[in-house]
């Protein structure tokens, strides 16, 4: 037993020594990027899938749990693959060119996005929409920082909020099919289901009146 513990200790010391080697840093960063992508994807998707599934999805408990597990696995896997691909391409380009330049990041992410997130499915669609909203905000701020757009005299956020809410509710009311399914489900719950009730049970306690047995 003691011999096994000593062997394990020696193995851990060897691994730790390897991890501290600067010449392996780029390769090890790719591996840890894969790990972090998998963990972060699971942390983000699992609670979201849990809430959305139990709020809006019908079916048995087994079906709901399976749906949550599948969504979590897909998000975790895709993010892990993307981070791995991105960091590997960044390291490769830097090695080939001898230095890191801004275009490397754009090219690596474009190729990774094409390979990993190119399939049009609900998980990838949600991730792309999440990124798109933040890109628009980021580019707007960058345009002001670079002087391409003059610094607003007043905070433009109230106007942006008004236009976004006005547009999304207009789309929901008159062109609902253009919205992403989970957003449709959320808005149906908020704006359509609140127009229907029969008694106190489905006015305050339930969204819909429980089916009679």
Tell me what pLDDT residue 211 has: 67
Tell me what pLDDT residue 159 has: 94
165 is written with which tokens?
A: 């809410």
75 is written with which tokens?
A: 């998000």
CA-based torsion, 200, 206, 211, 212: positive or negative? negative
Report the C-alpha gap between 173 and 127 in whole angstroms. Answer: 24
Report the C-alpha gap between 95 and 192 in whole angstroms. Answer: 56
Q: At what angle do helices 102-117 and 122-145 cross, to 10 degrees?
A: 160
Give, for all 213 residues of the chain, the pLDDT tens digit. 556 678 888 888 888 888 888 888 999 999 999 999 999 999 999 999 998 888 778 889 999 999 999 999 999 999 999 999 999 999 999 999 989 999 999 999 999 999 999 999 989 998 999 999 999 999 999 999 999 999 999 999 999 999 999 999 999 999 999 998 888 988 998 999 898 888 888 788 888 877 665
Nearest to 123 by CA among 65, 42, 190: 42
Report the C-alpha gap between 95 and 108 in whole angstroms. Answer: 14
| Tally of residues, the chain | 213
Tell me what pLDDT residue 11 has: 87
Nearest to 54 by CA among 209, 163, 199, 207: 207
What does the pLDDT look like over 184-201, one tens digit per residue? Answer: 988 998 999 898 888 888
What does the pLDDT look like over 64-96, one tens digit per residue? Answer: 999 999 999 999 999 999 999 999 999 999 999
Q: Locate all alpha helices (DSSP H) within 20-60, ordered by sequence.
A: 25-56
């Amino acid at each position: 037993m003691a011999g096994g513990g000593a062997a394990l200790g020696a193995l851990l010391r060897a691994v730790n020594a390897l991890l501290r080697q600067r010449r392996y840093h780029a390769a090890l960063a790719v591996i840890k990027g894969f790990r972090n992508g998998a963990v972060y994807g699971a942390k983000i998707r699992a609670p979201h899938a849990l809430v959305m599934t139990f709020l809006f999805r019908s079916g048995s408990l087994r079906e709901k749990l399976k749906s949550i597990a599948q969504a979590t696995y897909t998000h975790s896997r895709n993010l892990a693959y993307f981070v791995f691909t991105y960091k590997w391409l960044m390291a490769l380009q830097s090695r080939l060119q001898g230095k890191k330049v801004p275009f490397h990041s754009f090219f690596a992410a474009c190729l990774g996005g094409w390979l990993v997130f190119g399939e049009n499915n609900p998980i990838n669609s949600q991730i792309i929409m999440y990124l798109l909203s933040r890109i628009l905000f980021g580019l707007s701020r960058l345009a002001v920082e670079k002087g391409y757009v003059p610094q607003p005299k007043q905070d433009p956020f109230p106007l942006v909020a008004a236009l976004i809410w006005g547009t999304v509710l207009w789309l929901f009311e008159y062109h609902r099919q253009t919205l992403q399914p989970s957003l449709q489900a959320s808005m149906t719950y908020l704006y359509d289901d609140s127009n229907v009730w029969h008694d106190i049970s489905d006015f305050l306690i339930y969204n819909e009146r429980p089916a009679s047995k």
